[in-house]
């Protein structure tokens, strides 16, 4: 089994605004760190190399990030033990605080690439029912079945 993750963020500014430029200018670098990190398998991206132009919600300022990893530990290592951590600390500069869960984790069979619809369904399940083996957060990690 492999770990899929979706996280969403509502930008405070249009993506070409100067206030969010530092985030946008570093996407390629941070995505490169992810792709070379141990345990990385896949990430959602369009022809430009990132997912900021993929619209999964009606809100044009809502952006998504989705990836697949070999384990929770390897995803956490990328998130918290690389330069990615520095950008997470600054997310309040660029993104609004969402009142509900903004990320979800779930297990998938090896080689499966989750669709955006599947990922959003998992997020909505987490928001409605809380952590379960179907959709969970870092607060309550479930082992693969």
What domains are there in the chain, each with its CATH number?
A: 2-129 (3.30.70.100)
**In the prediction, which pLDDT does 50 show?**
81
Taking alpha carbons only, the member of 91, 80, 79, 82 closest to residue 5 is: 79
Q: How far apart are CA 128 and CA 83, in angstroms?
A: 33
Tell me 142's DSSP state: P
Residue pair 11/20 in contact (Cβ under 8 Å)? The answer is yes
What is the chain's mean pLDDT, rounded? 95
**In the prediction, which pLDDT does 53 show?**
87
Percent of the chain whose predicted confidence (pLDDT) is above 70: 100
- pLDDT, one tens digit per residue, over 55-76 is 999 998 999 999 999 999 999 9
């Amino acid at each position: 089994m492999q770990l899929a993750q979706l996280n969403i963020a509502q930008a405070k500014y249009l993506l070409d605004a100067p206030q969010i430029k530092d985030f946008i200018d570093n996407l390629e670098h941070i995505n490169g760190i992810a792709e070379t990190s141990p345990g990385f398998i896949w990430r959602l991206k369009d022809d430009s190399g990132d997912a900021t132009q993929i619209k999964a919600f009606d809100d044009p300022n809502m952006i998504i990030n989705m990836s697949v990893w070999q384990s929770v530990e390897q995803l956490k290592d990328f998130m918290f033990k690389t330069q990615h951590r520095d950008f997470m600390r600054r997310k309040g500069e660029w993104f609004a605080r969402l009142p509900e869960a903004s990320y979800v984790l779930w297990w998938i069979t090896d080689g499966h690439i989750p669709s955006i619809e599947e990922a959003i369904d998992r997020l909505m399940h987490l928001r409605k029912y809380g952590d379960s083996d179907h959709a969970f957060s870092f607060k309550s990690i479930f082992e693969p079945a």
